[in-house]
Amino acid sequence: MSQYLIASDLDNTLLNAEHRVDALTRDTLRTLSAQGQVIVLASGRHYHDIAAIRRQLEIPAWIISSNGAHLHDSEDRLVNETLVPTALVQALVDMPRPPTVRLNLYTQDRWLIDAEAPELLPLHAMSGFTYQVDDMQHLEHEHVGKVLYIGEPALLEPLERILRERHGEMLHITYSAANSLEIMYRGVNKATALSRALKALDIPIERALAFGDNFNDIEMLTLAGNAYVVSNAHPEVIDQLPRARTIGAHHESAVARALRQFFVLD
């Protein structure tokens, strides 16, 4: 069998309703990896967050983290990294925001947040990776791959407009969920990282499968030769990807079931 690359988003795609990997998904990925297929965990999550999930899967997966700001191979080697310039990070930190909107920075090693947000912790229970509260006044030595605002959608929309007006040419701005406004440097998305992985592995786009559910997956799903969206995906994402196949919901092990059908595992 030819070697394929399988790239999947995590939250609301590969992970179940408890933000964990269920047994069918784990067994399917292990089987495919053992057959020589390349697994790529592609998420807006921090690298250390995803790496902890990979350890539990016990597969040699590549990792696309912070929506493409960092690309690591299956042996933890950094293949590519594109950071947000410090001056831009400082401008985003200094930008006024509603008091209930949480500002987050993903650095190379840490997840910084401007105030406690215990409601975020269940999302990361599987990995155990967590935030550190920081006043964000001394960022000159930080290496930031992603800036993230978390809050009510009605509060994020005005922030998004200001960001696009002031810094739109320098930033890639997207959503991973309705309450998660994500900012990377221009040109940074999951597709650019996936392209680098495909090139490094000498796998053609036609043999790439990608799975996703939200706006930060659109570029990756557009690039891949075989694109799949889960049925719980944002409706506008489904509309923007007419050639993508809609499969079941994330809590139904839809990615695993689609992979088992594609690779005839049952």
What is the pLDDT at residue 137?
86
Look-up of token digits 């923007």: 240
The pLDDT value given to residue 249: 98
Tokens of 89: 């990070």
What the block records as the tokens of 79 is 């293949």
Nearest to 195 by CA among 42, 11, 75, 53: 42
Q: Give the Cβ contact number of residue 118 at 10 Å.
A: 7
Q: How many residues does the chain have?
A: 266
**pLDDT attached to residue 252:** 97
Q: What's the rounded mean pLDDT across residues 9-30?
A: 97
Residues 210/227, Cβ–Cβ less than 8 Å = yes
Of 9, 22, 213, 217, the catalytic one is: 9
Q: Give pLDDT, residue 27.
A: 98
**Distance between CA atoms of residues 186 and 157, nearest Å:** 20
Question: Within 13 Å, how many C-alpha atoms sit on residue 88's CB side?
Answer: 21
* pLDDT given at position 173: 98
Q: Which pLDDT score is estimated for 256?
A: 98
| pLDDT 10s digits, 139-196 | 888 999 999 999 999 999 999 999 999 999 999 999 999 999 999 999 999 999 999 9
Q: Which two tokens stand for residue 62?
A: 């590549």
The pLDDT of residue 260 is 98
User: What's the pLDDT at 140?
Assistant: 85
**DSSP assignment string, 195-207:** HHHHHHHT--GGG
User: What is the per-residue pLDDT across 62-81, written as a single tens digit (0 to 9) for each?
Assistant: 999 999 999 999 999 999 99
What is the per-residue pLDDT across 112-124, written as a single tens digit (0 to 9) for each?
999 999 999 999 9
Given this model, what pLDDT does residue 198 score?
Answer: 98
- Reported as a single tens digit per residue, the pLDDT across 35-61 is 999 999 999 999 999 999 999 999 999
For residue 229, what pLDDT is reported? Answer: 98
- Which residues, in sequence order, are CB contacts of 224 under 8 Å at separation 6+? 7, 194, 205, 208, 209, 210
22 is catalytic: no
pLDDT, tens digit (0-9, with 9 covering 90-100), for 220-246: 999 999 999 999 999 999 999 999 999
Burial class (CB in 10 A: 0-12, 13-18, 19+), 37: buried
pLDDT value, residue 138: 86
For the domain covering 5-81+188-262, report its CATH number. Answer: 3.40.50.1000
Q: Please state which CATH number belongs to domain 86-185.
A: 3.30.1240.10
Q: What is the predicted pLDDT for the residue at 46?
A: 98
Interval 202-222 mean pLDDT: 98
Q: Which helix (H) or strand (E) holds 133?
A: strand 132-133
Cβ contact 50:110 at 8 Å: no
Listed by start position, the domains of the chain span 5-81+188-262, 86-185
* pLDDT value of position 149: 98
Contact between 244 and 210 under an 8 Å Cβ cutoff? The reply is: no
0.75 cut: is pTM over it? yes
